[in-house]
Protein backbone atom coordinates (compact mmCIF):
# COMPACT_ATOMS: atom_id res chain seq x y z
CA UNK A 1 0.00 0.00 0.00
CA UNK A 2 1.38 3.37 -1.08
CA UNK A 3 0.80 6.04 1.60
CA UNK A 4 1.54 9.67 0.70
CA UNK A 5 1.90 12.67 3.01
CA UNK A 6 0.49 16.20 2.77
CA UNK A 7 -1.37 15.60 -0.49
CA UNK A 8 -3.65 18.22 -2.07
CA UNK A 9 -7.24 17.02 -2.43
CA UNK A 10 -8.08 19.53 -5.18
CA UNK A 11 -8.26 16.78 -7.81
CA UNK A 12 -10.29 14.52 -5.52
CA UNK A 13 -13.35 16.74 -4.91
CA UNK A 14 -15.63 18.12 -7.62
CA UNK A 15 -15.79 21.55 -5.95
CA UNK A 16 -12.05 21.77 -6.69
CA UNK A 17 -11.27 23.04 -3.18
CA UNK A 18 -7.53 22.98 -2.50
CA UNK A 19 -7.20 21.43 0.96
CA UNK A 20 -4.55 18.96 2.08
CA UNK A 21 -4.70 15.47 3.57
CA UNK A 22 -2.14 14.60 6.26
CA UNK A 23 -1.93 11.11 4.73
CA UNK A 24 -3.49 9.77 1.52
CA UNK A 25 -3.81 6.24 0.16
CA UNK A 26 -6.03 4.17 -2.12
CA UNK A 27 -7.85 0.87 -1.55
CA UNK A 28 -8.15 -1.64 -4.39
CA UNK A 29 -9.39 -4.48 -2.19
CA UNK A 30 -10.63 -5.21 1.33
CA UNK A 31 -7.10 -5.97 2.56
CA UNK A 32 -6.08 -2.41 1.62
CA UNK A 33 -8.98 -1.05 3.68
CA UNK A 34 -7.94 -3.06 6.74
CA UNK A 35 -4.32 -1.98 6.30
CA UNK A 36 -5.34 1.69 6.07
CA UNK A 37 -7.46 1.32 9.20
CA UNK A 38 -4.51 -0.10 11.10
CA UNK A 39 -2.21 2.66 9.84
CA UNK A 40 -4.71 5.29 11.01
CA UNK A 41 -4.95 3.63 14.44
CA UNK A 42 -1.16 3.53 14.74
CA UNK A 43 -0.99 7.24 13.95
CA UNK A 44 -3.90 8.10 16.23
CA UNK A 45 -5.77 9.66 13.32
CA UNK A 46 -9.26 9.42 11.84
CA UNK A 47 -9.70 7.33 8.68
CA UNK A 48 -11.62 9.52 6.22
CA UNK A 49 -13.21 7.55 3.38
CA UNK A 50 -13.42 9.26 -0.01
CA UNK A 51 -15.41 8.13 -3.02
CA UNK A 52 -15.83 10.38 -6.03
CA UNK A 53 -15.69 13.54 -3.90
CA UNK A 54 -18.87 14.78 -5.58
CA UNK A 55 -20.90 15.31 -2.43
CA UNK A 56 -18.43 16.97 -0.05
CA UNK A 57 -17.38 20.53 0.72
CA UNK A 58 -13.88 20.77 2.19
CA UNK A 59 -13.67 23.67 4.63
CA UNK A 60 -10.29 22.81 6.16
CA UNK A 61 -7.19 20.64 5.79
CA UNK A 62 -7.77 17.08 6.94
CA UNK A 63 -5.51 15.91 9.76
CA UNK A 64 -6.50 12.36 8.90
CA UNK A 65 -5.70 9.35 6.77
CA UNK A 66 -7.75 9.88 3.61
CA UNK A 67 -8.68 6.59 1.95
CA UNK A 68 -9.80 6.74 -1.68
CA UNK A 69 -12.02 3.77 -2.49
CA UNK A 70 -11.00 2.20 -5.81
CA UNK A 71 -12.56 -1.26 -5.56
CA UNK A 72 -13.75 -1.94 -9.11
CA UNK A 73 -15.42 -4.62 -11.19
CA UNK A 74 -18.87 -5.52 -12.55
CA UNK A 75 -19.91 -9.12 -11.91
CA UNK A 76 -23.06 -10.85 -13.17
CA UNK A 77 -24.29 -12.98 -10.26
CA UNK A 78 -27.62 -14.30 -11.53
CA UNK A 79 -29.70 -14.07 -14.68
CA UNK A 80 -33.15 -15.25 -15.74
CA UNK A 81 -35.65 -14.30 -18.45
CA UNK A 82 -36.73 -11.14 -16.68
CA UNK A 83 -33.82 -9.75 -14.70
CA UNK A 84 -30.17 -9.82 -13.69
CA UNK A 85 -28.36 -9.48 -10.37
CA UNK A 86 -25.20 -7.42 -10.84
CA UNK A 87 -22.50 -6.87 -8.21
CA UNK A 88 -20.53 -3.65 -8.73
CA UNK A 89 -17.37 -2.48 -6.98
CA UNK A 90 -17.84 0.61 -4.79
CA UNK A 91 -15.07 2.44 -6.64
CA UNK A 92 -16.67 2.19 -10.08
CA UNK A 93 -17.68 5.55 -11.53
CA UNK A 94 -21.48 5.65 -11.39
CA UNK A 95 -22.03 6.93 -14.93
CA UNK A 96 -19.62 4.34 -16.37
CA UNK A 97 -21.70 1.62 -14.73
CA UNK A 98 -24.90 3.15 -16.16
CA UNK A 99 -23.42 3.08 -19.67
CA UNK A 100 -22.28 -0.53 -19.19
CA UNK A 101 -25.77 -1.56 -18.06
CA UNK A 102 -27.35 0.16 -21.07
CA UNK A 103 -24.89 -1.53 -23.44
CA UNK A 104 -26.06 -4.90 -22.06
CA UNK A 105 -29.73 -3.83 -22.26
CA UNK A 106 -30.17 -3.97 -18.49
CA UNK A 107 -32.87 -1.49 -17.49
CA UNK A 108 -33.36 0.55 -14.34
CA UNK A 109 -30.44 2.99 -14.19
CA UNK A 110 -30.90 4.93 -17.45
CA UNK A 111 -32.74 7.83 -15.75
CA UNK A 112 -29.77 8.16 -13.39
CA UNK A 113 -27.29 8.92 -16.19
CA UNK A 114 -24.51 11.45 -15.60
CA UNK A 115 -24.99 11.65 -11.83
CA UNK A 116 -21.48 12.29 -10.49
CA UNK A 117 -19.75 10.10 -7.95
CA UNK A 118 -19.06 6.42 -7.40
CA UNK A 119 -21.26 3.35 -7.05
CA UNK A 120 -20.44 3.05 -3.34
CA UNK A 121 -21.95 6.44 -2.60
CA UNK A 122 -25.20 5.72 -4.45
CA UNK A 123 -26.99 3.84 -1.62
CA UNK A 124 -25.64 6.16 1.08
CA UNK A 125 -27.52 9.03 -0.55
CA UNK A 126 -30.27 6.93 -2.14
CA UNK A 127 -29.45 8.97 -5.25
CA UNK A 128 -32.35 9.83 -7.51
CA UNK A 129 -33.30 11.78 -10.60
CA UNK A 130 -36.13 12.03 -13.12
CA UNK A 131 -38.54 9.77 -11.29
CA UNK A 132 -36.11 7.01 -10.23
CA UNK A 133 -34.31 6.31 -6.95
CA UNK A 134 -31.61 3.76 -6.13
CA UNK A 135 -33.89 1.94 -3.69
CA UNK A 136 -36.05 0.75 -6.64
CA UNK A 137 -33.20 -1.27 -8.17
CA UNK A 138 -31.14 -1.96 -5.04
CA UNK A 139 -30.71 -5.57 -3.93
CA UNK A 140 -27.97 -5.50 -1.27
CA UNK A 141 -24.52 -4.18 -0.41
CA UNK A 142 -21.39 -5.36 1.33
CA UNK A 143 -19.47 -3.18 3.76
CA UNK A 144 -16.53 -3.50 6.12
CA UNK A 145 -17.47 -2.78 9.72
CA UNK A 146 -14.83 -0.38 11.00
CA UNK A 147 -14.84 -1.63 14.58
CA UNK A 148 -14.33 -5.31 13.73
CA UNK A 149 -12.93 -5.42 10.18
CA UNK A 150 -15.64 -7.93 9.26
CA UNK A 151 -17.67 -7.77 6.05
CA UNK A 152 -21.42 -7.40 6.56
CA UNK A 153 -24.24 -7.64 4.02
CA UNK A 154 -27.13 -5.15 4.13
CA UNK A 155 -30.49 -5.82 2.48
CA UNK A 156 -32.72 -3.10 1.09
CA UNK A 157 -34.89 -3.13 4.22
CA UNK A 158 -31.85 -2.85 6.48
CA UNK A 159 -30.62 0.23 4.60
CA UNK A 160 -33.79 2.15 5.59
CA UNK A 161 -33.87 4.28 2.45
CA UNK A 162 -35.56 7.68 2.47
CA UNK A 163 -35.33 10.84 0.39
CA UNK A 164 -31.54 11.25 -0.10
CA UNK A 165 -31.18 9.21 3.08
CA UNK A 166 -30.09 5.81 4.30
CA UNK A 167 -28.95 4.22 7.54
CA UNK A 168 -25.39 5.16 6.52
CA UNK A 169 -26.23 8.83 6.99
CA UNK A 170 -28.08 8.33 10.29
CA UNK A 171 -27.62 5.60 12.93
CA UNK A 172 -24.75 3.81 11.13
CA UNK A 173 -22.95 6.94 9.93
CA UNK A 174 -19.18 6.44 9.90
CA UNK A 175 -19.41 2.84 11.09
CA UNK A 176 -19.06 1.04 7.75
CA UNK A 177 -17.05 1.28 4.52
CA UNK A 178 -19.09 0.13 1.51
CA UNK A 179 -17.11 -2.21 -0.76
CA UNK A 180 -19.73 -3.34 -3.32
CA UNK A 181 -23.36 -2.84 -4.27
CA UNK A 182 -25.63 -5.42 -5.92
CA UNK A 183 -28.45 -4.23 -8.18
CA UNK A 184 -31.43 -6.05 -9.65
CA UNK A 185 -31.91 -4.76 -13.19
CA UNK A 186 -34.64 -5.67 -15.66
CA UNK A 187 -34.28 -7.36 -19.05
CA UNK A 188 -37.85 -6.28 -19.85
CA UNK A 189 -37.56 -2.46 -19.86
CA UNK A 190 -40.42 -0.30 -18.65
CA UNK A 191 -39.46 3.18 -19.79
CA UNK A 192 -39.97 6.02 -17.31
CA UNK A 193 -40.60 9.25 -19.21
CA UNK A 194 -42.98 10.73 -16.63
CA UNK A 195 -40.84 13.85 -16.23
CA UNK A 196 -41.93 16.38 -18.84
CA UNK A 197 -38.35 17.39 -19.57
CA UNK A 198 -37.53 13.84 -20.69
CA UNK A 199 -40.51 13.46 -23.03
CA UNK A 200 -39.94 16.96 -24.44
CA UNK A 201 -36.26 16.23 -25.07
CA UNK A 202 -37.06 12.89 -26.71
CA UNK A 203 -39.45 14.70 -29.06
CA UNK A 204 -36.80 17.30 -29.86
CA UNK A 205 -34.35 14.45 -30.55
CA UNK A 206 -36.96 12.97 -32.93
CA UNK A 207 -36.82 9.61 -31.17
CA UNK A 208 -39.36 7.22 -32.67
CA UNK A 209 -38.02 3.92 -31.30
CA UNK A 210 -37.85 4.34 -27.53
CA UNK A 211 -34.93 2.48 -25.95
CA UNK A 212 -32.60 2.69 -22.95
CA UNK A 213 -29.90 4.62 -24.78
CA UNK A 214 -32.39 7.20 -26.04
CA UNK A 215 -33.62 7.88 -22.49
CA UNK A 216 -30.05 8.05 -21.22
CA UNK A 217 -29.08 10.45 -24.03
CA UNK A 218 -32.08 12.65 -23.20
CA UNK A 219 -31.18 12.73 -19.49
CA UNK A 220 -27.56 13.55 -20.33
CA UNK A 221 -28.69 16.37 -22.62
CA UNK A 222 -30.97 17.81 -19.92
CA UNK A 223 -28.32 17.59 -17.20
CA UNK A 224 -25.65 19.17 -19.39
CA UNK A 225 -27.98 22.04 -20.28
CA UNK A 226 -28.84 22.74 -16.62
CA UNK A 227 -25.79 21.77 -14.61
CA UNK A 228 -22.21 23.02 -14.95
CA UNK A 229 -19.45 20.52 -15.72
CA UNK A 230 -17.32 20.15 -12.54
CA UNK A 231 -14.23 19.86 -14.76
CA UNK A 232 -14.86 23.45 -15.87
CA UNK A 233 -16.61 25.03 -12.87
CA UNK A 234 -16.26 23.47 -9.41
CA UNK A 235 -19.57 22.26 -7.97
CA UNK A 236 -21.26 19.32 -6.27
CA UNK A 237 -24.51 19.32 -8.22
CA UNK A 238 -27.62 20.00 -6.16
CA UNK A 239 -26.46 21.66 -2.94
CA UNK A 240 -29.82 21.50 -1.13
CA UNK A 241 -32.55 18.89 -0.83
CA UNK A 242 -36.04 19.73 -2.08
CA UNK A 243 -38.06 20.38 1.11
CA UNK A 244 -41.40 18.74 1.87
CA UNK A 245 -43.87 20.95 3.72
CA UNK A 246 -47.35 20.42 5.16
CA UNK A 247 -50.32 20.78 2.81
CA UNK A 248 -51.68 23.65 4.91
CA UNK A 249 -48.42 25.59 4.74
CA UNK A 250 -48.28 25.03 0.99
CA UNK A 251 -51.79 26.42 0.51
CA UNK A 252 -50.91 29.49 2.61
CA UNK A 253 -47.83 30.11 0.45
CA UNK A 254 -49.85 29.57 -2.73
CA UNK A 255 -52.20 32.35 -1.65
CA UNK A 256 -49.31 34.83 -1.51
CA UNK A 257 -47.11 33.21 -4.20
CA UNK A 258 -49.51 31.77 -6.82
CA UNK A 259 -46.70 30.46 -9.03
CA UNK A 260 -45.12 28.27 -6.34
CA UNK A 261 -44.79 24.72 -7.69
CA UNK A 262 -45.65 21.76 -5.50
CA UNK A 263 -45.62 17.99 -5.86
CA UNK A 264 -47.75 16.00 -3.38
CA UNK A 265 -46.10 13.03 -1.68
CA UNK A 266 -46.82 10.79 1.32
CA UNK A 267 -45.56 13.40 3.80
CA UNK A 268 -47.07 16.58 2.34
CA UNK A 269 -46.01 18.68 -0.63
CA UNK A 270 -42.50 18.77 -2.08
CA UNK A 271 -41.39 22.25 -3.17
CA UNK A 272 -38.41 22.72 -5.53
CA UNK A 273 -35.53 24.31 -3.62
CA UNK A 274 -34.36 25.89 -6.89
CA UNK A 275 -37.61 27.87 -7.15
CA UNK A 276 -37.31 29.12 -3.57
CA UNK A 277 -33.68 30.19 -4.05
CA UNK A 278 -34.44 31.94 -7.34
CA UNK A 279 -37.47 33.75 -5.92
CA UNK A 280 -35.34 34.90 -3.00
CA UNK A 281 -33.06 36.60 -5.53
CA UNK A 282 -29.93 34.45 -5.33
CA UNK A 283 -29.80 33.03 -8.86
CA UNK A 284 -26.61 34.05 -10.68
CA UNK A 285 -25.16 35.98 -7.73
CA UNK A 286 -21.36 35.96 -7.64
CA UNK A 287 -19.13 36.82 -4.71
CA UNK A 288 -15.50 36.83 -5.84
CA UNK A 289 -14.47 33.25 -6.59
CA UNK A 290 -17.77 31.65 -5.49
CA UNK A 291 -21.44 32.07 -6.27
CA UNK A 292 -24.82 30.67 -7.29
CA UNK A 293 -24.99 29.25 -10.80
CA UNK A 294 -26.72 31.49 -13.34
CA UNK A 295 -28.82 28.68 -14.87
CA UNK A 296 -29.49 26.42 -11.88
CA UNK A 297 -29.83 28.20 -8.51
CA UNK A 298 -29.68 24.87 -6.69
CA UNK A 299 -25.99 24.66 -7.61
CA UNK A 300 -23.33 26.61 -5.70
CA UNK A 301 -20.09 27.03 -7.61
CA UNK A 302 -16.36 27.59 -7.20
CA UNK A 303 -15.09 29.69 -10.11
CA UNK A 304 -11.45 28.93 -9.42
CA UNK A 305 -9.73 29.49 -6.11
CA UNK A 306 -12.77 29.69 -3.86
CA UNK A 307 -12.68 28.54 -0.24
CA UNK A 308 -14.98 25.87 1.13
CA UNK A 309 -15.63 27.97 4.24
CA UNK A 310 -16.91 30.81 2.03
CA UNK A 311 -19.24 28.48 0.13
CA UNK A 312 -20.53 27.15 3.45
CA UNK A 313 -21.16 30.74 4.65
CA UNK A 314 -22.99 31.53 1.39
CA UNK A 315 -25.19 28.46 1.83
CA UNK A 316 -26.09 29.59 5.36
CA UNK A 317 -27.12 33.03 4.07
CA UNK A 318 -29.34 31.41 1.43
CA UNK A 319 -30.92 29.18 4.09
CA UNK A 320 -31.62 32.17 6.34
CA UNK A 321 -33.10 34.20 3.49
CA UNK A 322 -35.38 31.40 2.27
CA UNK A 323 -36.52 30.78 5.85
CA UNK A 324 -37.22 34.49 6.30
CA UNK A 325 -39.16 34.85 3.04
CA UNK A 326 -41.05 31.54 2.91
CA UNK A 327 -40.81 29.98 6.37
CA UNK A 328 -39.17 26.89 4.84
CA UNK A 329 -35.98 25.22 6.08
CA UNK A 330 -33.52 24.15 3.39
CA UNK A 331 -31.21 21.27 4.26
CA UNK A 332 -27.89 20.68 2.48
CA UNK A 333 -27.42 17.57 0.37
CA UNK A 334 -23.68 18.21 0.48
CA UNK A 335 -21.60 17.08 3.47
CA UNK A 336 -19.44 19.75 5.14
CA UNK A 337 -15.98 18.49 6.06
Q: Is 22 part of the annotated catalytic residue set? A: no
Strands (E) across 138-280 are located at: 138-145, 151-155, 176-186, 234-235, 244-245, 263-265, 268-270
Nearest to 126 by CA among 47, 46, 181: 181
DSSP-assigned states of every residue in 37-82: HHHHHHHT-EEEEESSSSSEE--S-EEEEEEEE----EEEEEE-SS
Query: What is the distance between the alpha carbons of residues 160 and 155, in angstroms, rounded to a whole number?
Result: 9
Catalytic entry in 54, 140, 166, 238? 238
Q: Is 238 a catalytic residue?
A: yes
Catalytic residue among 26, 92, 164, 216: 164
- Do residues 199 and 206 make contact, with C-beta atoms less than 8 angstroms apart? no
- For residue 180, indicate whether it is catalytic: no
**Where in the sequence numbering do the catalytic residues fall?**
164, 238, 333
Amino acid sequence: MNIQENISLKEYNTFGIDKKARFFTEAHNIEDILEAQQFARDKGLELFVLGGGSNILLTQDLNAVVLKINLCGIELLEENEDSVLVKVGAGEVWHDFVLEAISRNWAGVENLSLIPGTVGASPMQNIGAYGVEIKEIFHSLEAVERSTGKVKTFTQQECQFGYRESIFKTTEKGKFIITSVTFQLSKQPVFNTSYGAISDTLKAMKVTDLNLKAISDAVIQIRQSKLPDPKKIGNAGSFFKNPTIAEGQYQELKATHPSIPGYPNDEGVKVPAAWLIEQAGWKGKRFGQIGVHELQPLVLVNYGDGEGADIKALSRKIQEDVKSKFGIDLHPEVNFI
